[in-house]
Structure formats: C-alpha cells, structure tokens
Amino acid sequence: MTDAPLLTMRGIVKRFPGVLALGGVELDVRAGEVHCLLGQNGAGKSTLIKILSASYQPDEGEIFWNGEPVSLSTPQAAMDLGISTIYQELDLVPDLSVAENIFLGHELSRGGFSQRSTTNRRTRELLARLGHPEIPATRAVGRLSPAAQQIVSMARALSQDTRMLVLDEPSAVLDQGEVDNLFRVIRDLTAEGVAVVYISHRLEEIRQIGDRITVLKDGSTVATGLAVDQTPTSELIKLMTGRSIEYVFPPRGGVVPVDAERVLEVSGLELSGVFSGVDLTVRAGEIVGLAGLVGAGRSEILETLYGARRPSAGTVRVAGRELRRGSVPAAVKAGIGLCPEERKSQGLLLDQAIYSNITVSSMSRFSRLGLLDSRAERRRSTELTESLDVRPAGVDRLVRLLSGGNQQKVVLARWLLRECRVLLLDEPTRGVDVGARAEIYALVRSLADSGVAVVVVSSEVEEVLGLADRVLVVREGRVVHEGPATEIDESRVLDLVMEGSAA
Amino acid sequence: MSDQTSGTGKGPDVAAVENPLAPSQDSISVERAASGSEPTAGGGLMSGPFGRNLGLVLALLLICAAGVITAGDRFASIDNTLTILRFASTIGVVSIGMTFVITGGGIDLSVGAILALSSVWATTFATQAMAQDTHWLVMVFAALAVGAGCGLVNGLVIAYGKVVPFITTLAMLAAARGLAEIISERRTQIVTVDGFKDFFSTDVLGVPLLVVIFAVVSVAGWVLFNRTTFGRRTLAVGGNPEAARLAGINVNLHTVLLYVLVGFCCGLAALMLVSRTTTGTSTHGFMMELDVIAAVVIGGTLLTGGRGTIVGTVLGVLIFATLGNVFTLNNQDTSTQAVAKGLIIVVAVLLQQRLARRASST
C-alpha cells in the first residue's frame, strides 16, 4: 500500500430539486487498500458511488486520478480509468450466459466473429481466480443464485483492467461462507494493488476487511481516512448518527393500560418460505417495533397483515373482526394504513399533486355519485399539510418535487385523513434528514396517544428502541424476542438479531 | 380554479410541472423547485397544458389555412365542416375510450376489430329481424353489448391472467375480426331497419346526430377523466400501479373497467359507422387502432401511462380528420396522406419525450 492517493475527491456537491444529496464530500482512496464507506440510509453513499461510476455528474467539486484532475463525464470514461462498480441490484442480463455477460461491451472477437472458445476459457480462468470454478460459463445468468451472480459481476469487473473496485453492500445477498470467500477475493485483489471501496452497514464486516474508513452523514464527510484498527465502534456510531438519541424521540405517554382495546390481533401468521408463527397483539395507543436484519421477514410481515401478500396460514383481526386474506381493500376498509418501505415506488404517485396523493385512499369521502369535489379535497389536504408542516406549502405541487421527509409526511397525511385505527410504518425515516425525523417521531407518538395502534419496522435498532413501547425481534422469519422497549438495549437486540447467523 | 383549467383537459398538477420546468436546463429547474415557497398560482398554473393545447390548436389552424388556400370555398363551407366532423366523430368516440386505457398504463390494439365485430353483430339477419319485430334499439343494444363484452374479455385476461395488454389485444384484434368474417360470411350486411336509419340520420339544430354523440361523449369523457374518482384512479393505476394497490385501490378491477369502457366506445362507434354507411361489415374499422392511438398520443397523453388529456385527444382527432380532408380536396392519394400522418406522429412523440425527460429528471 502506498500513501499517494489513487483517487481524490474534493468538495463534491450534488443537488436534486429540493434536496442537497451531497454537500461537500471529501474522499481519498489509495491503491491496494480497502476503503470503507460508512453512513446511514440517506447519508449519500449511493449518490457518491453513482458519481464514481459517472452515472451522475457532480454540480461542484474536483476529482483527481493519480494526482491528475479528471472529469468522469460518461460511464465509459470511468471504466477507461479502471473504475468498476458492482451495485446492490446487479446489472446483468439474465438471459445471456455467464461468459456473454462478463464480456458484454468488450466482446472478444476477430473480424467481427465472436471467439466463443477463447471467451469461455477466459471466463473459466476468471471464475477460478474468484474461487468459483464450479459456475458454468455457458449457463444463463438468470438461473444462478444471487451469490453466484455477484461473482459473475466481479468477474466482469476483473475482465477489464480494473484498478478500483466499488462494492455496494456486497454482503447483503450472501451467507457467511460466501462472505468469507468474498473477503478472500478482496484480499487477493488488494495484494495486486487494486483499490477497493467497500460500502456496508455491518460494522463487524468493516472490522474484518477494512483498512480505512470514511464516514458520511447527511451528504457530507464527517470523518475521512480513519484507520479501522484505531477507531472504536462507539466512535463510528456517534459519527454516523451525530446525535444523542434521547433528544430526538418524544417521551412515551406512560404504560399502555392492559385493558386498552386490542385493535390489531395477529395469530399464527405464516408466509411460506419467509416467516411463520407470528403472533402479535397491538392495543390502542401502543407502538410496537419490529427489529431484525434486512431479509429477516420484517417488511413481509407488515405487507402480509396489510393484505398485500397472501398468507399461507394465520389470521389478522382488527377490533375483533377477521380480515379477508390477501386483500388490501379489505384491510384499508377495516382501518389499516401502510407507509411502505419504498416510498417512491410503492407509496407515492410522484407525478400527481400533493392533495391527490393524500386523498387517494379516502376518495369516497369527497365524491358524490362518483363526482369529486376537488375544492374540498384541497381544503382538507391544506389543513393536514399545514398541521404536519409540509414544506414548501401548496397542495397543487407535485409530490416528486418534495424532499424525502416531506414525502413521508404526505404518506402519513393520507392515513391521518383516513383516520385509520392501525398504522403500519415500514422504515418511516429512510432517506429523511434528522430534523424531519424528529417531527415524524413526534407525529407517530401523538397518533398513538390519540388511540391508534402503530407497528414500526426499522433497520435502525435505536429507532425501534426509542420510538416503540414494545419490541419484537425477528430473525429468519421467526419472532425470537418480545418485551418492553425499556427493558432491552441495543447490543442485546443486535445479539438476538445476529445469533446463529454470525457463526 | 376549476374554471381556469376546465378547458385544458389536465389537472393543474400537470401545469405545475410543465411550466416551471419549461426552460430546459436542469440547473434552472432545480432553482425553481428549491426556491418555490411562493404559491404556484398565477401564470404557472395556466400556461403548461394551456400552452400545449395551444400548440395543437395552432397546428389545426395551420391545416385549416392550408385548406382555405388550396381548396378555397370547397374547404371553408358548412357542408365540408360537417363532413370533417362526421368523419372525426367515429374515430373520436373510440379515442376518448383509448385515452383512458393509455392513461391507465395499457393499450388496446383491438379497437378496430371490436368495432367490426359489433357492426356485424348488430346488422345480422337475425338481429335485424328481431329489431323489426320489437324495436330498433335491439341493434343498439347488440352493438354496445358486443363491444363491452370484448373489452371485458381483454380486461380479464390482462388484469387476472397477467398477459401484457399488447399481446392480449393483438390476439383480440385477430380473433374479433375473424369472428366478424365468420358471422357475416364476408358479406356486406345492409341495414334495413328504418327506425334505426331514421334515428341516426336526424339533425339536432342542423348538427348531425353523429357529431352530437361525439360532442356528448367528449364532454362526458372530460368529466369522467377530470372530475371523478374513476378518472383519479385511472391516473393512479397508470402512474404507479404498486402505490395505487397499496393505497387500497383495486387495481385489477379498475383495469378491467378501463377495457370495458373502451370496448363500449367501440360498440358506440360501430353504431355510428353503421348508420353513416348503412352497412355492417367485417372490414369496418380496418387499421383504425393506428389512427386512434396516433390521435391520443399527439394529443399529449403519455404512452407510458399516468398522464392524459381528453381535450388533447379531441384536438388530435380533429387534426387528423382535417388533414385527411384537405388532402382529399386536393386530390392527393391516401399514400401521401399516410406519409404526412407519419411525420406528424414522430414530431409529436419527440416533443412529448422531451417533456417526459424533463419531468423525470427533476
């Protein structure tokens, strides 16, 4: 490892309408090191990667490659420098073979005829180098497992002269054995002088593989070039969150009385292959949090009890009434509301006005014989957006133009208007800045105080613990712990979440 | 507000996007969005869709001017105007239905074939005999039921069978016209029921009934699109089906209704064509789907769904109808006409894509 940086980024700024995605990022990566990029959801990691791969152009800032200023104007320019990026959503063509995918765009050919045998031989060499000689070079990529697909992506990067490899949460789709293999491959690459930029949430992984760390928070670099072995975990968490948790969360209203109405009762809920045996009771005024790793089944539990997925067993009751299985309209009618995980793709009609996003689930209230009274819609939506402090004001504005926090408030306003009895929140603060987070937490608490039963799913353990009255920990599709939020701490939750998987 | 936008066919929400983003540089749109704490009222609300429809009106006026210059009084006469409108009304009624389907994220290639089948079914010997014995409304009922029925089949296969609309309606295109040929034995069926002929050839204050039907369908379509829960749901289903589903909208049911609606429009258009030609035949509406989709698209409805305009569709229909008329008056053959049509479609879609790209880059 040399100390002269291979890549240097200075003062990178990237704006989207209404959002400052990156507000001055500094990064330097040396050849032969594993440089970890750390930050919460919405901290700007993905945006930064997309600038590295030249999918986005920065609005301000400078990029140096080997000390020379460069502009990453097209993805091809980034590739020519030797920067390869492997995204979370793998960008492979499922119907092409492994070999065809690896050499896509730089096919081996002579006189316009593709050289199949050479291609397949080189493919086998690359796969062997990555420790996966068993992947067949001629198999269609769509038929491989996610882990194998990732190996193919890496082989694709290595088939070119890669000097810097960017890995976006590579371990998310892998099991422990596969992660070990991935780390072995990464070590081989760095030994050859390749720089690796490694993005992950999992601090223990960063301890295992990383050399230095850069921490992003709210689009800015808060620390760069920290040596992994000299930085305690608590320091990293503080840098990532930058706040004291108690300050942000609203005070709990006191113990929910045992005789409060059982608004939501779930028993024996099962979605085959994903989760099973989920029992859950939420009383009026109570907030229940679900903690667990991504893929443990948290979101699926919410979606199933909302009717968006059809359970293979079990019942959902609202106020004692059993819901028809797998029907969203039935759930909405019974008074359940869902703020989905992917706000933009699942929650919002981005090209519609704010008011029609709010009234979409309560249209019957504004219509007579099917005719909509849009003046009443606007009036009611204006009241709600004003009380939730959605900015900028004006309900005719397109939802697309709002920031993440304000978009989330619009989704919440939808269910406020609906006066739902059960509110399901999936990652309610993903992509929401800290200020708006506090407002959303306060809003959720005041909803609970008004008698709504709330279920919150979050990847951020402190969010679950800070907001909820009661916590359920989910691991591999099973509830492994249930108890009051005040009687468990973050490290215990993490232990429960990891148990078994961190062998 | 509703008065201001009532002539535009799009809600003010669309206006809010198109106008602030009118300058094509991203940096400018960013600033507008960021500093947009002032209310969006004023010119911004009006000029987006208004300006877009203004462009269509200008195109229409341009074609009219060409008509006056090249054909003089033969073009600028009341008779000729009624000819244009009568021709436009059949395609127009189908285009209104198609606007809903396309806005809802679908497409219907089978409209011409459904129209043919409806026209044949309504004019078979059996149907006409029954109409003679009872009432000519039997023919009307037959056409509308056949049209809506075909739409129902399309809708069920698409919504519950999860077959893509393009393939489903392509299959219906083949099957419906084939069935029309079987039923009619490829013969042209003459309408003999006088009550039917008399009714559809009436005038309302000098305006042919066909044109009145087109006007009524357009106004009803506009209200349905802009002022009802059905229209709002159509925008939601076309714009983001997953979000619509999770908001509690029955997306499958709505999809079925959209295809039933366009099928019903085909049935109605079949009746109009039958009365205009006093025949029912399996060749009615041949290649009509292309004219209809072209009119909807140049009107400003996004082919990807989620945004549409009834007023734009009506203007699109009038543009094509007038263009065809001007070419015919100048003794140009249909081939020249087709070339001009193709050019217009490409230019309109290019313009539309620029708008769409601007919207999605924000």
Reduce the DSSP state of residue B128 to 3 states and report it.
helix
Which residues in chain A have Cβ-Cβ distances shorter than 8 Å to B247?
A: 332, 360-361, 414
Sheet holding A220-227, edge to edge: A83-86, A164-168, A195-199, A34-38, A212-217, A220-227
- Whether residue A138 is predicted with pLDDT greater than 60 in this model: the reply is yes
CB pairs under 8 A between A and B: 121
Instruction: Give the pLDDT band (50/70/90) at residue A182.
Output: confident
Same domain membership, residue A196 and residue A295 = no
Which residue of chain B is at minimal alpha-carbon distance from A360?
Answer: B247
Determine, yes or no, domain membership for B340: yes
Residue whose C-alpha is closest to residue B26's, from B357, B272, B248: B357
A414-435: average pLDDT = 86
- Whether residue B178 is predicted with pLDDT greater than 90 in this model: the reply is yes
The 10s digit of each residue's pLDDT in B144-173 is: 999 999 999 999 999 999 999 999 999 999
Same domain membership, residue A329 and residue A234 = no
- Whether residue B314 is predicted with pLDDT greater than 70 in this model: the reply is yes
Determine, yes or no, domain membership for A230: yes
pLDDT, residue B266, reads 98
The 10s digit of each residue's pLDDT in B198-252 is: 999 888 888 999 999 999 999 999 999 999 999 999 999 999 999 999 999 999 9
Determine, yes or no, domain membership for B122: yes
Say how far apart CA A157 and CA A151 lie, in whole Å.
10
Instruction: Give the pLDDT band (50/70/90) at residue B357.
Output: low
Burial of B204 (0-12, 13-18, 19+ CB in 10 A): exposed
DSSP string, B6-19: TTTSS-HHHHHHHT
The 10s digit of each residue's pLDDT in A207-230 is: 888 999 998 887 888 888 888 888
Which residue of chain B is at minimal alpha-carbon distance from A337?
Answer: B247
A435-464: average pLDDT = 88
Say how far apart CA B130 and CA B123 lie, in whole Å.
10
The CB density around residue B141, as the number of other CB atoms within 10 Å, is 15
Task: Supply the angle between the helices B251-277 and B78-103 in degrees, to the nearest 10.
Answer: 160
Instruction: Give the pLDDT band (50/70/90) at residue A244.
Output: very low
pLDDT, residue B100, reads 98
Q: Which residues pair with A166 in a beta bridge?
A: A85, A197
For B90-119, what is the HEC assignment?
Answer: HHHHHHHHHHHHHHCCCCCCCHHHHHHHHH
Same domain membership, residue A163 and residue A190 = yes
Q: Which domain holds residue B345?
A: 89-355
Compare CB distances from A356 to B232, B249, B359 and report the shortest one's residue: B232
Say how far apart CA B122 and CA A82 lie, in whole Å.
69
Q: Which residues pair with A281 in a beta bridge?
A: A265
- Whether residue A452 is predicted with pLDDT greater than 80 in this model: the reply is yes
Same domain membership, residue A119 and residue A80 = yes
Reduce the DSSP state of residue A244 to 3 states and report it.
coil
Say how far apart CA A274 and CA A102 lie, in whole Å.
32
Q: Which residues pair with A475 in a beta bridge?
A: A478
For residue A487, give the CATH number of its domain: 3.40.50.300
Contact A394 B40 (CB under 8 A): yes
Say how far apart CA A31 and CA B150 lie, in whole Å.
65
* Token couple for A84: 């390869």
pLDDT, residue A334, reads 93
Contact B359 A400 (CB under 8 A): yes
Of A248-252, B173-177, B298-302, least confident by mean pLDDT is: A248-252
Q: Say how far residue A455 (Cα) sits from the centre of its chain.
A: 19
B245 touches A: beta carbon within 8 Å: yes
A188-205: average pLDDT = 85
B293-303: average pLDDT = 90
Q: Which domain holds residue A258?
A: 246-498
Q: Say how far residue B222 (Cα) sits from the centre of its chain.
A: 12
Same domain membership, residue A256 and residue A216 = no
Contact B359 A375 (CB under 8 A): no
Determine, yes or no, domain membership for A232: yes
Provide the 8-state DSSP code for A469: S
Say how far apart CA B295 and CA B278 lie, in whole Å.
26
Contact B362 A414 (CB under 8 A): no
Chain B interface disruption, residue of A14, A360, A426, most B CBs within 10 A: A360
Question: How many domains does one find in chain B?
Answer: 1
Which residues in chain B have Cβ-Cβ distances shorter than 8 Å to A361?
A: 247-248
A447-475: average pLDDT = 89
How far A376 CA sits from the closest chain B CA (Å)? Answer: 12
- What number is the ipTM of this complex? 0.74
Which residues in chain B have Cβ-Cβ distances shorter than 8 Å to A411?
A: none
Question: How many domains does one find in chain A?
Answer: 2
Which residue of chain B is at minimal alpha-carbon distance from A342?
Answer: B243
Same domain membership, residue A272 and residue A226 = no
Q: Which of A209, A243, A277 is the last residue of a domain?
A: A243
Q: Dihedrals φ, ψ of A42, to 5°?
A: 85, 5
Same domain membership, residue A253 and residue A329 = yes
Contact A349 B244 (CB under 8 A): yes
Say how far apart CA B279 and CA B139 lie, in whole Å.
12
Say how far apart CA A91 and CA B355 lie, in whole Å.
28
Same domain membership, residue A203 and residue A252 = no
Compare CB distances from B362 to A356, A361, A401 and report the shortest one's residue: A401
Task: Spell out the residues 6+ positions from residue B162 whose beta carbon is closer than 8 angstroms to its own.
Answer: none
Say how far apart CA A469 and CA B165 lie, in whole Å.
48
B128-147: average pLDDT = 94
For residue B277, give the CATH number of its domain: 1.10.3470
Same domain membership, residue A119 and residue A33 = yes
Q: Which of A243, A267, A284 is the last residue of a domain?
A: A243
DSSP string, B19-75: TTT-S--HHHHHHHHHTTTS-S-THHHHHHHHHHHHHHHHHHHHHHHHHHHHHGGGT
Who wins on pLDDT, B296 or A235? Answer: B296
- Whether residue B31 is predicted with pLDDT greater than 70 in this model: the reply is no
Provide the 8-state DSSP code for A364: G
Same domain membership, residue A143 and residue A70 = yes
Q: Is the CA virtual torsion B298, B299, B302, B305 positive or negative?
A: negative
How far A354 CA sits from the closest chain B CA (Å)? Answer: 9
Which residue of chain B is at minimal alpha-carbon distance from A363?
Answer: B229
Q: Which residues pair with B134 in a beta bridge?
A: none
Compare CB distances from B34 to A18, A374, A393 and report the shortest one's residue: A18
Mean pLDDT of chain A: 86
Q: Which of A193, A217, A243 is the last residue of a domain?
A: A243
Which residues in chain A have Cβ-Cβ distances shorter than 8 Å to B243?
A: 340, 345-349
B26-40: average pLDDT = 33
H or E element that contains A462: helix A461-467
Contact B11 A328 (CB under 8 A): no
User: What pTM did the predictor assign?
Assistant: 0.73
Which residues in chain B have Cβ-Cβ distances shorter than 8 Å to A23?
A: none
Provide the 8-state DSSP code for B130: H
Which residues in chain B have Cβ-Cβ distances shorter than 8 Å to A352?
A: 13, 235-236, 239
Determine, yes or no, domain membership for B292: yes
- Which one of A239-253, B36-50, B105-119 scores highest in mean pLDDT? B105-119
Contact A371 B233 (CB under 8 A): no
- Whether residue A77 is predicted with pLDDT greater than 70 in this model: the reply is yes
Bridge-based pairing of strands A195-199 and A34-38 is parallel
Q: Dihedrals φ, ψ of A336, to 5°?
A: -95, 140
Same domain membership, residue A342 and residue A204 = no
Q: Is the CA virtual torsion A374, A379, A381, A382 positive or negative?
A: positive
The beta-carbon contacts of A486-495 under 8 Å, at least 24 apart in sequence, are A489/A465, A490/A461, A490/A462, A490/A465, A493/A291, A493/A461, A493/A464, A493/A465, A494/A461
Instruction: Give the pLDDT band (50/70/90) at residue B80.
Output: very high
Same domain membership, residue A226 and residue A351 = no
Task: Spell out the residues 6+ positions from residue B262 whose beta carbon is closer than 8 angstroms to its own.
Answer: B94, B97, B98, B100, B101, B108, B111, B151
- Whether residue A483 is predicted with pLDDT greater than 70 in this model: the reply is yes
pLDDT, residue B163, reads 96
How far B348 CA sits from the closest chain A CA (Å)? Answer: 21
Task: Supply the angle between the helices B43-71 and B310-329 in degrees, to the nearest 10.
Answer: 10
Say how far apart CA A305 and CA A389 lie, in whole Å.
30
pLDDT, residue B16, reads 35
Which residue of chain A is at minimal alpha-carbon distance from B230?
Answer: A370
Determine, yes or no, domain membership for B49: no
Who wins on pLDDT, A174 or B116? Answer: B116
Who wins on pLDDT, B272 or B10? Answer: B272
Q: Say how far residue B206 (Cα) sits from the centre of its chain.
A: 25
Give yes or no for a contact between A286 and A255, defined as CB atoms under 8 angstroms apart.
Answer: no
- Whether residue A115 is predicted with pLDDT greater than 90 in this model: the reply is no
Burial of A4 (0-12, 13-18, 19+ CB in 10 A): exposed
Compare CB distances from A349 to B29, B40, B236 and report the shortest one's residue: B236
Determine, yes or no, domain membership for A503: no
DSSP string, A259-311: TS-EEEEEEEEEETTTEEEEEEEEETT-EEEEE--TTSSHHHHHHHHTTSS--
Reduce the DSSP state of residue A22 to 3 states and report it.
strand
Which residues in chain A have Cβ-Cβ distances shorter than 8 Å to B254?
A: none
Mean pLDDT of chain B: 84
How far A327 CA sits from the closest chain B CA (Å)? Answer: 9
Which residues of chain A approach chain B closer than 8 Å at the C-beta? Answer: 15-18, 59, 306, 308, 328-329, 331-333, 338, 340, 345-353, 356, 360-361, 363-364, 367, 370-372, 374-375, 391-394, 396-398, 400-401, 414
Determine, yes or no, domain membership for A430: yes
The 10s digit of each residue's pLDDT in A290-346 is: 988 767 788 899 999 999 999 999 999 999 999 999 899 999 999 999 999 888 888
B339-355: average pLDDT = 79
A389-404: average pLDDT = 86
